Each structure stands twice: as C-alpha cells, then as structure tokens.
Structure 1
Amino acid sequence: MNFHLDEDIQALKSTVKDFIYNTVDPRAQEMEENDYIPEEIMQMSKEMGLFGLSIPAEYGGLGIGMVGKAAIYEEIGKTLNGYTTLIGAHTGIGSVGIVEMGNEEQKQKYLPKLATGEYIGAFALTEPSAGSNASNIKTTAVRKGDKYIINGSKHYITNGNIADVFTVMAVTDPNKGAKGITSFIVDRDSPGFFVGNIEKKMGLHGSQSVELFFEDCEVPVENVLGVEGEGYVNALKILANGRAGLAARNLGSCVKLMELSLDYAMEREQFGKPIFEQQIIQHYLAEMDLDTETLRSMTYRVAWMVDQGMKVIKEAAGVKLLGSEVYSRVADKALQIHGGIGYMSEYPIERFYRDARITRIYEGTSEIQKNIIAAQLKKNYKSLSKIGG
C-alpha cells in the first residue's frame, strides 16, 4: 500500500491547512452561534477547488483519488464540523452518484457546475419510515410518458436548503421490494418539488438539514440515474464510497482534539504542577493517541483500497464504525482533561463533543455498520472455514 501524496495534492493539503487555521477556525464560534457559513468562506472554498474534489478533471474537478481526498478531508475535519459536513456531503454522497453512475449526458450537464460549487449537491434517501431500513422508503415514482411523477417526502437532508441538485431514491415498482427502487437526479426547480423548514439540531451548526416534499413532482425520464430498479444498490454504493471520507473527517477532528488537550495539559496547573504530570492525564492522552493513530491507519488503508477498485463493503463499514466510535471516545476524554472549561459553549471542546455524537448515527448507524460487517463475514464463511485445512 502506497499512501504517498504527489506534489499537487501536498500543495493543496498545505493550502487547505493554512485556510482552515487562518480563516475558517478563527470564525468557528461565530458560525456555530449563527448556524451559518459566511458567503466569503464558501466562495474561498470554491476557488480552492474544494467543491470539486470528487469530480474528474475532464468535468472541471480536481480528479484526485480517495487517498488524496482523505488527506484533504483530514485537514477540513480540524475545524467546525458544520463546515466540514457541508463540504463532505457535497463532494461525497451529493455528487459521487453522478460521477459513478451517471451517463455522459448527465455528467456533462451537472458535473462542471458541481465542480465549481455553482451547484450544490445533496442526497435524499432518509424518510420518516426509512432510516436504518433504507429499503422501506415510501416515496413513489410513476412513469407517465416521458416523465416520472414523484410523490412523497424526505427528512434530515443535509445541504437541502442550499442544494441545486438532489440524488433522490423512490419506489418505481412496489412489488419488487428493494429491487423496485430507482435513483433520480432532481433539480431544485422541478415542478412539484418543495424544500421544507430547516431542522434544529444538537450540533453540526452551519450545516443545515431540511425536509423535502414531492407533490406530483415532474422529473424527465433522462434523469434516471443508472438503471431503473437499481436505486437501492446505487444508494449502498454511494454510502459505502463516502465512508472512508467520513472517517478521514473524523480523524481530523481527533487530531485537533489531541492538539487542544495536549496544549491544555501542559499549561494548566493544579497542585503546583501542569496537569500533564498527573499519570491519569498521561493515560488519557496515550489512549487518545492510540485511538487516533489506529483510525489513521485504517482510514488510509480503506482509501487506498477504493483507489485500487477493490471491494470494500466490509472495510468501508468498519472504518465508518471505527471513525465514529473513536471520535466519540477522544472527544469524551478531551472534555474530561479540560474539566469545567471544556463544558463551556464558548470553547471548542464542547462543540466537538456534541458534533461527535451524530457520527454514530448519520450515513448508517454504528449498529448498521456491525450488521454489514457480520453479513460479509457470513457471506465469506465457507472460505474462512477452509483456512488451515
């Protein structure tokens, strides 16, 4: 496995690192309190190419592989997770479906504008009755001539309030279960498509989630993404592809928490000496470092596997699970090291602590990741049982 970054990606990583440290992070608390990413930060992010990370160069994107994206996501993960999520949802589940499954006409129409950030992408699968059980969606799409008529609703859709292009899953044949689901590209201005209210969330401030409503929404036949009836498979592929990226963002947050905690432990004095000299604090930091470096190793390994075109169903679930669990543990220890000041909302520890909690839920809960891993173990059981015999 080669995790070496070429000069162009190293240069981009350095530029992003400076941008996060000098421009985004100093305004993190402001963005947290206002629940809004300022337009000037959005514009600078677009000019840097951050909205085109996943899009091939021939369509105006940066065209970098998953290892390179992981390196960039790690830097972005060191700041306000709401900003991180806005970028990650666009470059991941919001656009990767068109990149991987779109036909040439769809790619030419959408990818150049997604690459520059002129269009923002979103992914619409979750419904009130379909969360972890994604195959239980109720939104329907019925073909009428050269259009599909979509009816139903989605909720908790990241970027939904600012998105121009939505990858939407709907049932085209209710008699076929998961094989009766189709994915569509839906434009924001499609007749019968409405964006609902912004949800109030515990964390991820700056990244808005909304409800979507489809009331006889008209979508042209040419906006079917992939093959009719393969929407559920498409959704699983899109989610799996993004999990290494999500783990990399979690990794960046863990690195930042480690830096903040080590600085604080060295500076904060109790009983006449820095609290770093207390063995329990040393143990906390050692455990946080071990967790973080374990996550780093698995994140880049899975990213490398994605770049090689290898099957990563189990590994993607594993790194998503590990990333969210490690982030939660590291955030908890960071707050304990900081004590009362870590609990105060004007300091970043409290923000990271809240933001860490959603990572065990969105884009597939920790429990669902365990189910996926177990299903893959069962599938490979016969070959595993032959080892040594």
Structure 2
Amino acid sequence: MLFKLTDEQLMIQNMVREFSRKVIAATAAQRDKTKEFPAENFRQMGELGLMGMMIPEKYGGESADTISYVLALSEIAYSCASTSVVMSVQNSIVCESLYKYGTEEQKQQFLVPLASGKIIGAFALTEPEAGSDPVSQQTTAVRQKDHYVLNGTKRFITSGKHSKVVLVTAKTDESKGHKGISCFIVPKKTPGLVVGHLEDKMGLRASDTTDLIFENCRVPADLMLGKEGDGFKIAMSGLDSGRIGIAAQSYGVAMAAFDAAVKYAKQRKQFGMAISKHQAIRFQIADMATQIEAAKQLIFSVASMKDRKQPHTKQASMAKLFASEMVNQITARAIQIHGGYGFTKEYDVERFYRDARVFTIYEGTSEIQRIVISNQVLKDRRKF
C-alpha cells in the first residue's frame, strides 16, 4: 500500500523536523554524557502540542492522527532517543489510557495538564520479578473504606523521577489472575510513594529510569482508572499503542544512523576513492535503505489501522519486532562503515548504537512480540 501524506501531516513533519534538528539535537550528545533530563525541551514540546498529540483539543491535546504522531516521534528520535522515549510514554500509554478509561473528573484533573505538556507522566507496570509476565506482579492494593492502600515495588519506570503523576497497576484480587489487576492514578506527592534507585544505563541516558516504591501508599478510591479488574486490559491496550511508538523511535534512530553512514561514506577516502564507491559499502547501504523502508511501511500500516479503529495488536507487535531489530542492525552497520572512528564518541553513531539496544527489550521483548504475533496468527481462521 502506498501512503501519501496529507498536507497537514507534511506540515507537522516539517515543523517537528526543524524544531528537532535545531533545538533537540543541539544538546543531545552533552545530555548523554551528563544524564541531564531535558526539561526545557519538554516545555517547548508541550507548547508545540507534541505531548498529547492524539488527545482531543478539549482535553489539552491536538486531535492529531496516529500517522502524524509517528512522523513527529520519529523526527524527535532522529535527534535524541532519550527525549523520544519520554514523548512516547506520555502520548501513547499515559495520555491515551486516561482518555480511554478515565472519568470526566480524572480527565480534567490529570489528562489536561499531561496532554498540554505542563507535567510529565509515567506508567508503572514492570516489577523486579515481573517483567514479561505482568500477571506475576506482587504489588497489592487493599480497599479500606474510601481508599486503597498500595504496597510493592515497580522497576525500570521511564520518567520515574521527573513525572508528576503515575499510572500504577496492582493486584486487588489475587484469586482472579489477570482479571484481579487494577490500575490507579497516583500523584507523585502522595505519601508513601518513594522514588528509588536511579538506573545508570547503557543508552537513553538523558531519560531517567527508576524504581518506584509504594509503602502503605493511600490512594483515594476515586483515583482508580477504569473499574476494579481493568488494570491488565488497560496495560495491554496501552502497550499496543506504545509498541507503535517504539517502532517509530526505532525508525527515527535508524534514519539518523543511516544518514550519518552515507555522509561519512561519501567523505572518507581509501584506496584512492571515497569508500561509497566500493561495492562492499554500496551493498551495505542498499541493504540498510531497504530495511528502513520496510520498517516505515509496517509503521504506517499499523498507524493507519489504529486511525481506522481496527484491531491492531498483531500488527503493532510486528512493527515493533521488525523495527527494533532493524535499528540494531542499522546502527551496528553504521559503526562498521565508520570503522575505528565509529567506536569513538567523536561520532554520533556510537550513541545511536547504545540508544537502540533497548528497543528490542522494553515494552515487550522481541521474544514476547513473537509470542503475541503467533498467538494472533494461530487463532485467526482466515489465511495469513
């Protein structure tokens, strides 16, 4: 299927590209060294409408379609993957979950400031002993009159330190399995919520990743998101959208690495000519371009399905699986084309390589994506 972008989609892409290359890129390498959270960048992104793109304007968003969102997200990722992961979680998991399942009061109190970029949000699902298997999580929420008391530890939470509100899953009924998991909106100022260990990561170093510890954390009952037992459903719905976001991030980083590799290949001379004239390099460039184009088509396809409100769990996992594996191959090849220079911090491809590595891991490993895809294929009676 050939995707022809509308004038509005092209306008959004060009606007974000200009902002990303001028503002985001300017400090990306330095933030990678210092691990400084790009708060000012997010303030400007909020003003540009990038923190709640698919949320209706009445709730502080931009009412943009999913294709516009992935175009914008990939342009941010092109310059800084750390910034893009925060944008992705904010848009696809936090804001969308609140919009789909929140009450009107919850939307006014939390979604409006989140979608308008005035505050950062986080989603807390993973635990020390519950990563790929969220049903085995141990965080509990016990009802006490008009409150729930939360106890447990969440791990690897994006924006765990800098967020102002967190969506948290917890078991409200152990006996019901995945149907006994609920979701809560927890403001960070809530007593009993403690920000724990700050991870020192290989990549995405300007995006903070922390533990969140709940110690007799009392959350008002009216801050439950959805109904009791909806937590697993909310998480899976959010991950469908989040996986589209990771695919878009992967595409953006891959394009950055590809452009850097092509530029270097044209400039670097060996054996009396630019290395771009050597067949070995040309074949690598051809393979890289083909992989990137294939990923883009998968991303546009699932984004279009989401906009048409079609079921897209399988396609979201396919896009995430292919794009995240693709970007790891592209960034590795970009370093190879740079030779020894690619292994130094003088060139951005080294940072691209480190940032890309986690894309096959978070929001469902590649192995989990294969399980999701095969489950969907095997239960579908139609021809694949």
TM-score, normalised to structure 2, is: 0.97
Task: Give ranges in structure 1 of 5+ residues lacking alignment.
Answer: none
Specify the SS of the correspondent of 1:195. Answer: strand
Q: CA deviation at 1:370?
A: 0.1
Counterpart AA for 1:182: S
Counterpart AA for 1:329: Q
Q: CA deviation at 1:7?
A: 3.7
Q: What CA deviation, in whole Å up to 9, does each residue of 1:322-370 have, x standing for no partner?
A: 1100101111111100111111023210101111110010000000000
Specify the SS of the correspondent of 1:51. Answer: coil
TM-score, normalised to structure 1, is: 0.96
Alignment of 1:205 with 2:176, yes or no, is: no
Q: CA deviation at 1:58?
A: 1.1
Are the counterparts in 2 of residues 29 and 346 from structure 1 also a CA contact under 8 Å? no
Deviates more, 1:139-148 or 1:105-114: 105-114
Partner in structure 1 of residue 256 of structure 2: 256
Q: CA deviation at 1:309?
A: 0.5
Are the counterparts in 2 of residues 3 and 67 from structure 1 also a CA contact under 8 Å? no
Alignment of 1:82-231 (within 5 A): 82-231=82-231
Partner in structure 2 of residue 298 of structure 1: 298
Q: CA deviation at 1:2?
A: 7.7
- For the residues of structure 1 that align with 2:223 and 2:3, how far apart are their CA atoms? 37
Q: What CA deviation, in whole Å up to 9, does each residue of 1:27-86 have, x standing for no partner?
A: 211111111134432322222111121321111211111111011112112012111112
- For the residues of structure 2 that align with 1:260 and 1:250, how far apart are their CA atoms? 15
Are the counterparts in 1 of residues 43 and 118 from structure 2 also a CA contact under 8 Å? no
Q: CA deviation at 1:116?
A: 2.1
Alignment of 1:332 with 2:300, yes or no, is: no
Q: CA deviation at 1:243?
A: 1.3
Partner in structure 2 of residue 266 of structure 1: 266
Task: Give ranges in structure 2 of 5+ residues lacking alignment.
Answer: none
- Give the fraction of aligned pairs with identical amino acids, expressed as a percent: 39
Specify the SS of the correspondent of 2:246. Answer: helix
Are the counterparts in 2 of residues 137 and 170 from structure 1 also a CA contact under 8 Å? yes
Are the counterparts in 2 of residues 153 and 212 from structure 1 also a CA contact under 8 Å? yes
Are the counterparts in 2 of residues 160 and 212 from structure 1 also a CA contact under 8 Å? yes
Partner in structure 2 of residue 54 of structure 1: 54
Are the counterparts in 2 of residues 179 and 232 from structure 1 also a CA contact under 8 Å? yes
Partner in structure 1 of residue 349 of structure 2: 349
Are the counterparts in 2 of residues 99 and 111 from structure 1 also a CA contact under 8 Å? yes
Q: CA deviation at 1:136?
A: 0.6
- For the residues of structure 1 that align with 2:4 and 2:216, how far apart are their CA atoms? 50
Partner in structure 1 of residue 232 of structure 2: 232
Judged with a 3 Å threshold, the aligned counterparts in structure 2 of structure 1 residues 38 and 312 are, in CA distance, closer, same or farther, namely closer
- For the residues of structure 2 that align with 1:75 and 1:196, how far apart are their CA atoms? 32
Are the counterparts in 2 of residues 32 and 80 from structure 1 also a CA contact under 8 Å? no
Q: CA deviation at 1:300?
A: 0.2
Are the counterparts in 2 of residues 155 and 210 from structure 1 also a CA contact under 8 Å? yes
- For the residues of structure 1 that align with 2:10 and 2:57, how far apart are their CA atoms? 17
Counterpart AA for 1:245: G
Partner in structure 1 of residue 81 of structure 2: 81
- For the residues of structure 1 that align with 2:39 and 2:139, how far apart are their CA atoms? 33
Q: CA deviation at 1:266?
A: 0.6
Counterpart AA for 2:340: G
Specify the SS of the correspondent of 1:217. Answer: strand
Counterpart AA for 1:47: E
Counterpart AA for 1:255: M
Specify the SS of the correspondent of 1:210. Answer: strand
Deviates more, 1:349-358 or 1:82-91: 82-91
- For the residues of structure 1 that align with 2:149 and 2:10, how far apart are their CA atoms? 46
Q: CA deviation at 1:4?
A: 4.4
Are the counterparts in 2 of residues 119 and 164 from structure 1 also a CA contact under 8 Å? yes
Are the counterparts in 2 of residues 154 and 212 from structure 1 also a CA contact under 8 Å? yes
Q: CA deviation at 1:383?
A: 3.7
